[in-house]
Structures are given as C-alpha cells and as structure tokens.
Amino acid sequence: MADLGTNVRYIKGIGEARAAALEKLGITTLGDLIAYFPRGYEDRTQVRPIRELTAGESVCVRGMVAADLTAYRISGGRTIAKTRVVDDSGSLDLVFFNMEHRRDALHQGDVCVFFGKVEDNLRRKQMINPLFEPEGRQQVTGRIMPIYPLTAGVTQGLMARAARQGLDACADILPDVLPDRVRQHHQLCRIEYAYENIHFPESAEALDLARRRLAFEELFLFTIGLERLRSRREVVHVPPCGGVDMELFYRALPFTLTDAQRRCVEEALADMRSGTPMNRLCQGDVGSGKTMVAAACVYFMVKNGRQAALMAPTEILAQQHYQGLAPLLENLGIRCALLTGSTTAKTKRSITQQLESGEIDFAIGTHALITGSVAYRDLGLVVTDEQHRFGVAQRAELAAKGDHPHILVMSATPIPRTLALILYGDLDVSIIDQLPPGRQPVQTFAVTGGYHQRVYRFIRKLVGEGRQAYIVCPMVEENDQLPDERKAVTEYAKKLQSEVFPDLKVAFVHGKMKPKEKDAVMAAFAAHETDILVSTTVIEVGVDVPNAAVMVIENAERFGLSQLHQLRGRVGRGRHKSYCVLVSDNKGEENKQRLKVMSSTSDGFAIAEEDLKLRGPGDFFGSRQHGLPSLRVADLSCDLSLLHETQSAAEQLLAADPALKNHPLLKARVELLFELNADAMN
Ligand code: ADP
Ligand code: MG
C-alpha cells in the first residue's frame, strides 16, 4: 500500500512520463503531490443569462445551439468554426479555432453549458474556444477548478489529473497532525476533507472550510515550533551585567537621543542585566537612528569588561559603521577594529590576535567576523545590522563565537507589529517609532520615461544648489533579457556624463565591483567629490550621505514596495528638502498602487502593511532569509484572528504536554518544519 513517501511514479494513473513532468515542480512523493496546492481557482459554477454578460468576465451560460458549426479556412491553413447559442435572454457568438476534428461536437438544438471568457466583437458578445458539455454532465463546467502554479511541460490538465490520482491514492492513509480535541474545539474539518476541497472544492463554502483548517494547521505548527524555541532559550543562565554610567556615553553624542531610542536602549540594557541572554530585535524605520542604539549597547557591554561585535551585510555598510562609531567610541576608551573580506591577510592576523587577547573591545565587520579563524576572548554582545539579510543560521554562528552572548538584531524592514512578534518569534521586540527631530518627509513623484529631460533638469538645479543625487538603475534579474547590471550601470553613467551632465561629476557603483573600488566610489561621493552617483541597489542598505537630496529610481516597477522605501531612505537624511522620483512606464494596477503608496506616505510601517497585502507574507519575508518556515496557506495579512486562535491552542497544548510526548506526529512535523533548529530543540 502507498504511503506519503511513495514515489509518484508508482501511483495508479501517473507513471514514468508524468512523474518526470511533476518532478520539475519539485514533486517526487505522494506527500509532495497532495501538498502542492492550487494558487487560485476558476469558478465555473456561475451560470448567467446572456443578456447580463459583460466583456472580460469568465462565466458559464446555458443555452441551445442555434445552428450546426460552420467552418471557414483562414490564413496559415487554420480553420475557424462559428455558431451561436441562445437562452431566454439573448444570444452569444461562439468561435472555435482548429476544431476541424470535432466538427460534429455541436449540433443545432443541443442544450449545453459553455464556459469561457466573454469578449466584445463589434457590437456582439462572443466566447472564443469555450469549454462545453451537455447540460447536467458537470465535468468541466459547474465546478470550481484548481489553478496550479506550473512550469514548462506541465499543463493544468496534467496537474489536476495527477492531484486527483494522488488524493484517491491516499484516501485512507492521511495522518492528521492536529489532535482531535483541538480540531473539534476550533471547529476544523477533517484532514481528508481539507485536502479534497483545497484541490477540488465542492463549493465556495467547502473551500473556505478547507483553507481555514489548513491555515490553522500551518500556523499551529509554526507557533508550537516558535514556543519551543522560546522555552529552550530560557534555561540558559549568564552572569548578569552590572550598572554602567550611561550619561558619559550620552554626553559624548553630537545629539540627544530620541525618546524612542532611549526606550530601546533601556530595554536592551535591562535584558543584559537580567541574567539570561538577550535576544532582541530592534526595529526602526530607515533613518530612525538604530546605529546609536547599537552603540549604546556596545558601550554598556565593553564597560562591563567584555567584547562586542557588530556584523553588517555589506562591506560599504561595515565601513560606514566603523567610520561613524570608531571615533566616538575610541574617545570613550573603547578599542575598535574593522574586519571585512578585503582586510589584508596581515592586518587580519593582527586583528584576530588582538581579539583573542582582548586588546580589541569592539569588532565591526561583515561575515568575515564569523569565519573559522576568528576567535574572541570574551564576546558578550553580538549586534547584527539589517537582519533581513542574515539568516537565523548566521546569527547563530556569530553567537557561537562567544559563550551565550547577548544578541541584538537591528532590522530596517518595518514589520507590522503583530507580525514581528510572530516572525521573529524567538526574539523580543523593541520598536523605534520616532524619527530624529527636524526630518522632512521626502517628497515623492511618480513619472513616466517621457519625463526624463525634466528630471535631469531638476537634478541639475539641485546640484547647482550644492546638493548631490542618486540615480538607481533597473534591477537586473537572472535570465533577464536586459544587459547585466554592470553594463546597465556603466553605460547609463557614461551616457549621463557625456550627453547630459558633461560639466558635473558622475560616478557609478555596482555589486560586481571589487569591494575596494566600491568603497572608494562611496567614499568619494560621501566627501562630495562627485555630484551624481549611478548605482544598483548596492546603496539600498544603510549608507548615509546627508547631502544627497534627490534620488531617481529608474524602472521603479521592478522593485518591491519595501525595497523602494529602503532606497528612498538614502535621501532626506540631512537638513535639506529632499525628493524621490520614481520612473516607470508600467501601467499595471499593482504597480500603480505601489507608486501611489510611495507618493502618499513615508511611514515605513504603513508601507510594510501595503507590501504585505500586495505580495503576501511569503515574498515579503523571503523565508530563506529569516530562516523560518514560509507559510503556504495562511495569509497573515488577513488571518490574524486565526493566528491568535492557534496561539492559544498551542499554549494550551504545550502547557499540558511540553515535550509533545503524547503527540509524536505533531512533534516530528514541527521539527521537520524548523529543520535548522531541530537539533537544538531536543
Ligand atoms: P538607521 O536606523 O537607518 O540605521 P542611522 O542610525 O543610520 O539610521 O541614523 C540616521 C542618521 O540620523 C544618522 O546620520 C545619525 O547620525 C542621525 N541620528 C541618529 N540619531 C539621532 C538623533 N537622536 N538626533 C539627530 N540625529 C540622529
Ligand atoms: Mg542602519
């Protein structure tokens, strides 16, 4: 008998050829097959009177065929066949291409149900190649059909048949991870019903029930996994940190911290004094001043006699942190070092040695900080900046360089509050919800490519006033038809320099440059040796050039909302009124909506909510990046109440059975889901 691990090629009705096709979708086992859910549905249950149809909708009509099909030859040796269907309310033209072989499928007087997309042809309505069947048969009409995500060589039909075979093959063997009690208490349907109806819904209500059950299950596993991570954390004890006079630090700053910054610092210090390791996420919009919160924590830790490390995702950012923090902290008696991929072997040896002996108190760097040879005498605090770029695993690697060091994660991706608590569920959360005083919102415009000359004139005007400009080039994806990013950036910069701004200094930077070159270009821009910087998204994270007052983003449709927001955060960092120009010729609804959001708000949290709505949580968080499982059925932008339900269910279950002894299947599934952390969870 089959089980969920059975290879699909052994399932009745699938066989070698289809199995090979399915493999392209990542489906190899029966379990994969039935868990390959539709991405949407086509509702073919609505039968409508012909008179009420409007162009663009896909619906069923029921009616009588008015005449036998008449066929014509058209160019390219193709044939076209036409007839007309009538119901009580009106008539509709039916057009079939290449139906030669089914010439007698439709006859005058047949009563059939047709499903198709309604189109306007001159003044008549028509359907092209509608699906049809005799009234009452209900095989291709009258049902809700699944629409699967596909790839070349796999059709909807193949996928739907395979799903049908798969469901039939495992009718009696589906294990239910939800304990009966939970299922009943929360009025969730059985697993067989859920799988059947997520693929082939009997009705809209059945689909809702199926979805709710599967979403609940997903969130339930997720919450249990996070709860277990959290509880594991609490067993560790570390020596509590002592009191430090923070006034000395505050007085050394060129500005007063905002209340929000102060609060975050206080929360972090309280953690470090508590005797259990800090695991805190500090979230704040771009420009909210997260770096100083980190610096305060570093100061606190070093004055406690231990070391600290700050890891940034890029060379440029690490460098900038070093340049910003080292002078301040050195003045306060803290010995700092910068360690990145481009640090020479000799310097690296010396730094490594001093980290090991404790002569260096604070190391700033890239992932070079976690490479094998680097060791610390007593690493007490680990800060990772722009956390969405690091996975849980990398964070853990750095932490492993010390003996349960305190961890502070800085994220520039504002996440709706409820979500932060869940997605960073193993972290406590502090939010900097206030910008330093005097910031003006960046005025944002969306324009089409036709406005380029005006945009250039605007740049020229601002540069004339002493400001600088960023121009961000189209992002280049793999397999893209566009030239690679290097070419896009260098050619655009060359063109701007020679044809548009011959009298200004145009520089460029892209991700394929050597770190040294990149840094040199960035440093020159920061020192105002250049006026205009053409770049890819390498400038997205964290760089700080307060004199830059305008950013132009070309092909803005290629960027996600949160990314546009991050990019825009590079301007408006100083005293000057700043602008962001989004250039896009894309007329799609989603793009329009995106650009509208960008032009109307600068609130990162509001933008994040919109982004979540537009893209869904899977994309938004890029599960691989944060190292937590992605959600496939549950939609956190609308399933929040379901989430609260699962949370209380998970708490109750864990309170009664913390090790999940009575629920071995549930335990196994949770651990599988949190693969990364499975070892640590036992
Ligand atoms: P982000 O949260 O994006 O990392 P940064 O830490 O880079 O923000 O800070 C952005 C800018 O604001 C920097 O130039 C920093 O010096 C400045 N800044 C930070 N805190 C304050 C404050 N309390 N008052 C005035 N300026 C501040
Ligand atoms: Mg930052």
Name the residue at shortest CA distance from atom 24 of ligand 1.
Answer: 436
**Chain centroid offset of residue 551 CA:** 24
Are β-strands 406-411 and 336-339 bridged in parallel, bridged antiparallel, or unpaired? Answer: unpaired
Q: Is the CB of 289 under 6 A from ligand 1?
A: yes
Please give the Cα distance from 649 to 185 (Å, whole number): 9
Ligand 1 center–CA 288 separation, angstroms: 6
Name the residue at shortest CA distance from atom 15 of ligand 1.
Answer: 289
Classified as helix, coil or strand, 114 is strand
**Chain centroid offset of residue 272 CA:** 31
- H or E segment and range at residue 309: strand 307-311
Ligand 1 center–CA 249 separation, angstroms: 16
- Adjacent-strand bridge partners of 279: 407
- H or E segment and range at residue 403: none
Which residue type, as a one-letter code, is found at position 210?
A
Q: Name the stretches of the chain with pLDDT < 70.
A: 1, 100-103, 229-235, 386-396, 414-426, 475-485, 540-543, 612, 614-631, 635-640, 674-682
What pLDDT, on a 0 to 100 scale, did the predictor assign at position 188? 95
Please give the Cα distance from 490 to 496 (Å, whole number): 10
What pLDDT, on a 0 to 100 scale, did the predictor assign at position 285? 82
What pLDDT, on a 0 to 100 scale, did the predictor assign at position 75? 79
Beta-carbon contacts of residue 140 (< 8 Å; ≥ 6 apart): 44, 115, 131, 132, 133
- Cβ atoms of 262 and 268 within 8 Å: the answer is no
- 22 token code pair: 């399915």
- The residue behind tokens 């306060």 is 332
Ligand 2 center–CA 357 separation, angstroms: 30
What pLDDT, on a 0 to 100 scale, did the predictor assign at position 184? 94
Give the closest residue to 87 by CA, choosing from 52, 118, 117, 138.
Answer: 52
What pLDDT, on a 0 to 100 scale, did the predictor assign at position 265? 97
- Which tens digit of pLDDT belongs to each residue from 542-587? 567 889 999 999 999 888 887 888 889 889 888 889 999 999 998 8
Cβ density class 2-30: b for 16+ within 10 Å, e for less: bebebebeebeebeeebbebbeebebbbb
Q: First vs last Cα of the chain: how many Å apart? A: 32
Q: Is the CB of 572 under 6 A from ligand 1?
A: no
Ligand 2 center–CA 411 separation, angstroms: 8
Name the residue at shortest CA distance from atom 10 of ligand 1.
Answer: 287
If you average pLDDT over every residue of the chain, what do you get?
A: 85
Which residue type, as a one-letter code, is found at position 470?
Y
Q: State which ligand 1 atom lies nearest to the alpha carbon of 546.
A: 14
Please give the Cα distance from 249 to 478 (Å, whole number): 47
Q: Is the CB of 387 under 6 A from ligand 1?
A: no
- Cβ atoms of 577 and 443 within 8 Å: the answer is yes
- Cβ atoms of 8 and 176 within 8 Å: the answer is no
- The residue behind tokens 């040199």 is 520
Q: Is the CB of 412 under 6 A from ligand 1?
A: yes
What pLDDT, on a 0 to 100 scale, did the predictor assign at position 415? 67
Give the closest residue to 439 by CA, choosing from 606, 575, 256, 599.
Answer: 575
The pTM assigned to this predicted structure is: 0.64
Please give the Cα distance from 467 to 469 (Å, whole number): 7
Task: Provide the sign of the torsion angle of the four alpha carbons 472, 473, 479, 483, taken in this order.
Answer: negative
Q: Is the CB of 383 under 6 A from ligand 1?
A: no
What pLDDT, on a 0 to 100 scale, did the predictor assign at position 394? 63
Ligand 2 center–CA 290 separation, angstroms: 6
Q: Is the CB of 292 under 6 A from ligand 1?
A: yes
- Which tens digit of pLDDT belongs to each residue from 19-33? 888 888 889 999 899
Ligand 1 center–CA 291 separation, angstroms: 7
- Cβ atoms of 126 and 94 within 8 Å: the answer is yes
Please give the Cα distance from 455 to 442 (Å, whole number): 16
What pLDDT, on a 0 to 100 scale, did the predictor assign at position 675? 59
Q: Is the CB of 604 under 6 A from ligand 1?
A: no
CA contacts within 13 A on the Cβ side of 425 = 21
Q: Is the CB of 436 under 6 A from ligand 1?
A: yes
Largest CA distance in the chain: 95
Residue 493 backbone dihedrals phi, psi, to 5 degrees? -65, -40
